[in-house]
Amino acid sequence: MKKTSKPPVLLVLTTTKSGIRSESEAIREALDRKAPLCALFVLDPALATPASQKLLSAVMGPAAARPLGKELLKDYENRARVRFEEIKADCEEIGVEFESRVCRGPFVDEVRSYVQSREPSVVILPKRPKSFLSRIFMRDELAIIKSTAPHTLIRIIEEEI
């Protein structure tokens, strides 16, 4: 596949927000722009701790529950790598350059860092229906990411539950 110097399309996936619509839209966007598609999977330990993990921590104690949290993150990372292989196969089929990266850390910090370093033309984020409070926090996250790259288009793709 021919390397291109065009700004990439960035697809951001996390432990809690992923989906076929976002992935399809990102591939279409990259194809339309004749740009590479970069997929970033953010393993945010704070987001990867489900309610059951918190409950186990309360019952067993944080030290006993911690290994379960590490295993959960490992599972998420394995799922991300499998998903990347599927997206890569779709991209190769239509001639779109693809690269992927898994990173660990706070969601907003990791996305901002990647946006600053790669300067994508578009950032595509999946969104699932959320509570009112979650929507307020997501708006804050988007504002922070947008302030990092004011000329970058940020698209939110609604996913089904």
Please report, for the domain that includes residue 124, its CATH number.
Answer: 3.40.50.620
Q: Say if 3 falls within a structural domain.
A: no
Q: Say if 1 falls within a structural domain.
A: no
Phi-psi region of 98 (alpha: psi -120 to 50; beta: other; left: phi over 0): beta
Q: Say if 58 falls within a structural domain.
A: yes
Residue-wise pLDDT for 72-121, tens only, equals: 788 888 989 999 999 999 999 999 999 999 999 888 889 989 998 999 99
> Which pLDDT score is estimated for 108?
86
Q: Say if 54 falls within a structural domain.
A: yes
Say what percent of the chain tops pLDDT 90: 37
Provide the domain count of the chain. Answer: 1
Residue 39 lies in domain = 9-158
Strand 98-104 relative to strand 9-14: parallel, antiparallel, unpaired? Answer: unpaired
Q: Say if 2 falls within a structural domain.
A: no
Q: Say if 40 falls within a structural domain.
A: yes
